[in-house]
Structure 1
Amino acid sequence: MQPKLTKILFALCVLFISSYSVAQEENDIIKNGKVYTLGGIDVTGLKSFNKQTVVTTTGLRIGQEISFPSTEISDVIKKLIGYDLFSDVKVYAATEGDQVFLTIDLKELPALSDFKIVGIKDRKKEDIIKDTELKKGKKVTESFLVNTKNYLVKKYKDDGFNNAKVTITTRVDTTEANAVKMLINIDKGDKVKVKDIQIVGNEKLSDKKIKKAMKNTKERFFLRFWKKSKFIPENYEEDLANIISKYAEKGYRDARIISDSIIHNEDNSLSLKINVQEGEKYYFGDIDFVGNNVYSDETLRKVLGIKKGDTYNGVLLKKRIADATDPDADDITNLYQNSGYLFSNVNAVEISAKNDTIDFEIRIIEGKPAYFNHVTVVGNDRTNDHVIYRELRTRPGELYQKTNIIRTIRELSQLGFFDPETIKPNIKNPDANAGTVDVEYYLEEKGSSQVQLQGGYGGGGFIGTLGLSFNNFSLRNIFNKKAYRPLPMGDGQSLALRLQASRFYQTYSFSFAEPWLGGKEPKQFSVSFNHTIQYATSYNNGYYTGNVDRSRRFLISGVSVGLAKRLKVPDDYFYFSQALSFQHYNLKNYTTSLFTFGDGFSNSLAYTVGLSRKSSGPNPIFPTTGSDFSVSAKVTFPYSLVDGTDWDALKEERDELIESGDDADRISEIDQQRFEWLEFYKVKFSGNWYTTLPKKFVLKTGAEFGFLGSYNSSRGLVPFERFFVGGDGMANYTLDGRENIQLRGYPNQSLSSADGSVIYNKFSLELRYPITLGNSASIYGLTFLEGGAAFDEFRDYNPFQLKRSAGVGLRIFMPAFGLLGIDFGYGFDAIDGTNQANGWETHFVIGQQF
């Protein structure tokens, strides 16, 4: 006869995820302290899970020994509850001799089989689904329901819907096992706006100044579209503190808010009444420095910038000690940290207040200088370590300087291989006694290669473009088959290939750049090749047919070699660059307005020298601070000074022939001689300045200038290297050295003559706002004001005679495709040959520089 089995309920019932209880009742079979062998495990109550999966999850094994009381059983309950899959867990035990048999009784949480959101527009539902993790199969817990409701209520209150109500109901889905359907009903109600704000008790500061200090809570005003009058309680509390800060800036350190009232009006608006007590105005008295040995009082006073007798400004005092809003601020804390004193501590202490004067002590604990111990980088899966470490301004054994950490962040951002928004320096293991600190740079790789694949119709035919740009290329692994993914990458080199073709032309280009030639210093070597074949259109009996005549063609071939080096003086933001370029132009029965001859050739051997300074950043796609400027000169050899040709006589002969209309062959012969070797000089300047404004806005200010000149007026200006102003500024297939200057609001190249201008200037203001600066895509909006003009002769140049425009635009940068954008510009002035404002123009931007 089978022995009698005695079942004992341990009453192991978990009521909440954060707590559980185990109840054990002694009897004459299970004894405290006795060890049993686990003879078997059964699982009951399952509806959607596999029994063996649950047994494996518990970690219990048949044959293992279990003593009572048992921590193993408690651990099993904790683990099962921790998965958020079960609402109740009970464990039953039965013994048979020295064996114990367990039964785990589970109550599964229901799964979400379907959900529905009502009360809002469909386009708003996607964000809610994403943010609340609403999805089929989600286990429906009480905490999930509460968190979802709280999130939605807060979301709409933050948008000004203070009366928003959210109801979430569930019902059993009879078509599926252990499943529920969910209905989310959202009643936003009307948006609650601030009708008026009444300030009481203020005499020293006007209502206008106090209301301006309230950054987020504004009165209803139909002309203020950039800041709505919605009421958000958290923002309102913050603005009350802002009022006190505004008084503190003006010297009223005892100012306080006695009371504030929120009045609900019948039209569902709010009226705010704020009662302030201003107190007396105070002034700075004596400011003494205590504990400073590294810097003199005089030096610290200059940095502090506050003198005895100045109006008391508590906000300014805190910023001059340590400005939390600007990591690179000119304050006393940064003064010490930029000199290695990481462990320094600076505090302003009020020591006396006599009448209206407050005396302070600036108490400084300098500590000992800190030096970098370990400097590491994490997150670079594709970029080789040496490419990163050569950009670091923080090296082991060097003195700690905060400015070097900030500069390192900028340099890593400028590489373009990492997401600039996520680069983070982690200060680790600071040891004040040893005077050492570690720093670890966290990086997230992003796509650094770009593909340009375009097709369109223009110029009488289809135009196709294929461009490949690899900005983290590795030339040394070019023969390493294992390194191809799809190309060898990781050494920070640039490789670009581009092909564009239509019925009328083909253009090919190749470029390569090594930013650290030799590997010891930032010395960039670059080389590029290009070739274009342009065909003429055919005519039949004097009529244009629109077909291609391949027997008449214009070939342009070129090569360029450049070398650029980072300088140390005046500072290491400067670069000095040099390049040598050669272009060969070959006409074969091809007539163009650039030449008077249809058969012949022209050569251009030019040397370009430039000086630039680039300190903008840290994000190269969306710079917020710093500036960029460059000045360059492109020159050829002055052949006319040494070739022995009487250019004055040739010019006179040519002018006479043109005037008489005779001997076109002789004119072509003279022009072939003039342009056999091009002779010119070209000077350019460009500058951009970036200023961070409140609310994430960035102001970009720009100026440009260009001039093309000749050494010998009798020989004349060359037909190449000219400026074409107007439009989107996008480069086209022509490789004749021309430069397309963006000036939105006007058609492309419409502000220059047909053959291009020899001098231009341009001024611009651009206000930018970041919509998102994520790794997958960076998007920002902009509004702009521009003015510029082009002239055919220097004597006509007038820098104030501008063609003006304004407009708005959008930029989207995706690592794989580069920059995409659209601008809508309005030209306020007339194009030459018209007598009215140009009006609206739409410009598309693809792959243009930032």
Structure 2
Amino acid sequence: DKSITNLKNLNLFSNVKMQMQIVPNSKNNTLDLNWVVSENRNSEFKLKGNFQGKDLLGEISLNINNFSLLNCFHPNNLKIIPYGDNQKVLLDFTIGKKLKKYNFSFIHPNLTDSSSIKFNCFYKNELTKEDINFRNLENNENYKINKFKSTIELNKKINENNNLLFNINYINKNKIYKDKTLSFSEKSKIYKDWNSQLIFNHNSISPDIIFPNKGGYVNINSFLEFPKSLNKLKTNKFEYFKFQMKSFLYKKIFKKLISKIGYEFGVLHNSNKNDDFKQFYMGGTSFQKENLNQTNFIPLRGYYEPNKLYGVISPKKGGSFYEKILTELRYLIVEKNSFKLWLLNFFEAGNIFDSYKNFNPFQLKRSIGTGI
């Protein structure tokens, strides 16, 4: 029964009432069980239209499940859509007068028994308005944004609790302005980036993520951005580097009282001294998108949110090092089905430093509080 349930959950077979064929093996006194199944061709095609402002957009989406890239080259499987290897192909197109988007993804979830691979390619062309009349042009719709992004991602499941992810990304974004003849010809490159990321995750939290009472969580993230040109590669091996580690440990003290202990540390190197957007910022619990990079925002309860205009805890131009410790005591008051209510007491301490010379692991901003 368990084997049948697992096969059903794969969503790969249309015939779930399987006929078992027993093949005896007289050499080692065993039986080979052959399951006769029918593959499920569960592809999906969507076509729709909608309005974005005054612009009419047409959207086309094709989702192919149980795809087989290998069967594309097999002479006996020359079909419109070859199936059989549990691969996924996603195609999305959005076409309008001012906006065009194209997205392609290929996912192989079973590259090996414990690893998967994903390839994604995205292109966007958008006609956009400036907030002010740029270059005194009468037509305010005066530039296009072109964005291209491609990603290759490898995911390795080490065991039940540990996972390793590696990806390589390329991003190219530029503006194309209208010249005096109102034709799009003047190009201005605003962003070009090669980067790579390596992430290790450990998650043994149980029984759930809402109110865990045992286990731990560890995230180790390293990010490397390569120089934007070969000339810079001679002087700088990398443009930007970031390393972060987060860890939490949950322990049941007695029946409804749970403790949580956490530690975070981060360090980065930014070759572009004028680019403070990629620096670390700390403080508060909410994130202000207009000011900071969300991935580099470090919450710290009891303090104001960071703002690059006046800094607060963080230096005005952000920091290159940070450290944070956390302890919590949680007491479960109400538990009914998925609803849980608990009393929380916390102590946090952390700080950000603008250089390694000023880094002091004992010079931390502290906060203490309680709540429900």
TM-score by length of 1: 0.27
Q: Give the match's secondary structure for 2:285.
A: coil
* Corresponding position: 1:786 with 2:329: no
Separation (CA, whole Å) in 2 of partners of 1:518 and 1:566: 11
Separation (CA, whole Å) in 2 of partners of 1:530 and 1:733: 24
Alignment of 1:53-72 (within 5 A): none
Question: Contact conserved, 1:536 with 1:553, CA < 8 A, in 2?
Answer: no
Task: Name the aligned partner's letter for residue 643 of structure 1.
Answer: N
Alignment of 1:462-541 (within 5 A): 476=65, 517-518=109-110, 521-525=113-117, 537-538=131-132
Partner of 1:697: 257
Question: Contact conserved, 1:634 with 1:683, CA < 8 A, in 2?
Answer: yes
Partner of 2:196: 607
* Corresponding position: 1:624 with 2:184: no
Partner of 1:679: 239
What displacement does 1:584 show? 3.3
The structure-2 alpha-carbon separation of the partners of 1:537 and 1:615, relative to structure 1 and needing over 3 Å to count, comes to: same
What displacement does 1:685 show? 0.8
Q: Give the match's secondary structure for 1:643.
A: helix
Partner of 1:762: 324
Task: Name the aligned partner's letter for residue 113 of structure 2.
Answer: E
Separation (CA, whole Å) in 2 of partners of 1:698 and 1:789: 26
Q: Give the match's secondary structure for 1:476.
A: strand
The structure-2 alpha-carbon separation of the partners of 1:770 and 1:730, relative to structure 1 and needing over 3 Å to count, comes to: farther
Separation (CA, whole Å) in 1 of partners of 2:4 and 2:328: 36
Separation (CA, whole Å) in 1 of partners of 2:259 and 2:106: 32
The structure-2 alpha-carbon separation of the partners of 1:375 and 1:685, relative to structure 1 and needing over 3 Å to count, comes to: same
Separation (CA, whole Å) in 2 of partners of 1:628 and 1:375: 30
Task: Name the aligned partner's letter for residue 278 of structure 2.
Answer: E
Separation (CA, whole Å) in 2 of partners of 1:475 and 1:733: 38
Question: Contact conserved, 2:123 with 2:146, CA < 8 A, in 1?
Answer: no
Q: Give the match's secondary structure for 1:628.
A: strand
Partner of 2:53: none
Task: Name the aligned partner's letter for residue 170 of structure 2.
Answer: F
Q: Which one has more relative contact order, counting CA pairs under 8 Å at least 6 apart?
A: 2
Separation (CA, whole Å) in 2 of partners of 1:645 and 1:739: 25
Task: Name the aligned partner's letter for residue 721 of structure 1.
Answer: K
Give the number of equivalent residue pairs: 271
Determine which of 739, 744, 753 is the counterpart of 2:301: 744
Separation (CA, whole Å) in 2 of partners of 1:618 and 1:513: 33
Q: Give the match's secondary structure for 2:231.
A: coil
Question: Contact conserved, 1:729 with 1:741, CA < 8 A, in 2?
Answer: no
What displacement does 1:767 show? 2.1
Question: Contact conserved, 1:709 with 1:717, CA < 8 A, in 2?
Answer: no
The structure-2 alpha-carbon separation of the partners of 1:752 and 1:588, relative to structure 1 and needing over 3 Å to count, comes to: farther
Task: Name the aligned partner's letter for residue 605 of structure 1.
Answer: W
Q: Give the match's secondary structure for 2:278.
A: coil
Question: Contact conserved, 1:687 with 1:703, CA < 8 A, in 2?
Answer: yes
Separation (CA, whole Å) in 1 of partners of 2:242 and 2:152: 18
Separation (CA, whole Å) in 2 of partners of 1:631 and 1:678: 20
* Corresponding position: 1:385 with 2:30: no
What displacement does 1:628 show? 1.2
Which has the larger share of helix? Answer: 1
* Corresponding position: 1:795 with 2:357: yes
* Corresponding position: 1:576 with 2:136: no
The structure-2 alpha-carbon separation of the partners of 1:644 and 1:809, relative to structure 1 and needing over 3 Å to count, comes to: closer
Q: Give the match's secondary structure for 2:255.
A: helix
Per-residue displacement from partner, 1:415-434 (whole Å, max 9, x unpaired)? xxxxxxxxxxxxxxxxxxxx
Q: Give the match's secondary structure for 2:65.
A: helix
What displacement does 1:643 show? 2.0
What displacement does 1:790 show? 1.6
Q: Give the match's secondary structure for 1:698.
A: strand
The structure-2 alpha-carbon separation of the partners of 1:803 and 1:566, relative to structure 1 and needing over 3 Å to count, comes to: same
Alignment of 1:167-566 (within 5 A): 375=2, 384-386=8-10, 476=65, 517-518=109-110, 521-525=113-117, 537-538=131-132, 558-566=149-157
Structure number with larger C-alpha Rg: 1
Partner of 1:592: none
Separation (CA, whole Å) in 1 of partners of 2:295 and 2:4: 44
What displacement does 1:636 show? 2.8
The structure-2 alpha-carbon separation of the partners of 1:704 and 1:600, relative to structure 1 and needing over 3 Å to count, comes to: same
Separation (CA, whole Å) in 1 of partners of 2:266 and 2:275: 15
The structure-2 alpha-carbon separation of the partners of 1:740 and 1:644, relative to structure 1 and needing over 3 Å to count, comes to: closer
TM-score by length of 2: 0.56
Question: Contact conserved, 2:221 with 2:243, CA < 8 A, in 1?
Answer: yes
Separation (CA, whole Å) in 1 of partners of 2:352 and 2:144: 30
Separation (CA, whole Å) in 2 of partners of 1:562 and 1:716: 30
The structure-2 alpha-carbon separation of the partners of 1:557 and 1:697, relative to structure 1 and needing over 3 Å to count, comes to: farther
What displacement does 1:696 show? 1.2
Task: Name the aligned partner's letter for residue 564 of structure 1.
Answer: N
Q: Give the match's secondary structure for 1:763.
A: strand
What displacement does 1:622 show? 2.0
Question: Contact conserved, 2:110 with 2:116, CA < 8 A, in 1?
Answer: no
Per-residue displacement from partner, 1:199-255 (whole Å, max 9, x unpaired)? xxxxxxxxxxxxxxxxxxxxxxxxxxxxxxxxxxxxxxxxxxxxxxxxxxxxxxxxx
What displacement does 1:620 show? 2.6
Separation (CA, whole Å) in 2 of partners of 1:536 and 1:573: 49
Per-residue displacement from partner, 1:659-711 (whole Å, max 9, x unpaired)? xxxxxxxxxxxxxxx9xx9811111111111111213122111111111114x
Q: Quick one: percent identity of the two aligned structures? A: 24
Q: Give the match's secondary structure for 1:702.
A: strand
Question: Contact conserved, 1:784 with 1:808, CA < 8 A, in 2?
Answer: yes
Question: Contact conserved, 1:726 with 1:746, CA < 8 A, in 2?
Answer: yes
Per-residue displacement from partner, 1:46-65 (whole Å, max 9, x unpaired)? xxxxxxxxxxxxxxxxxxxx
Which has the larger share of strand? Answer: 2
What displacement does 1:751 show? 2.8
Note the aligned Cα RMSD (angstroms).
4.8
Question: Contact conserved, 1:729 with 1:740, CA < 8 A, in 2?
Answer: no
What displacement does 1:745 show? 1.5
Determine which of 267, 273, 280 is the counterpart of 1:723: 280
What displacement does 1:608 show? 0.8
Separation (CA, whole Å) in 2 of partners of 1:792 and 1:555: 35
Q: Give the match's secondary structure for 1:602.
A: strand
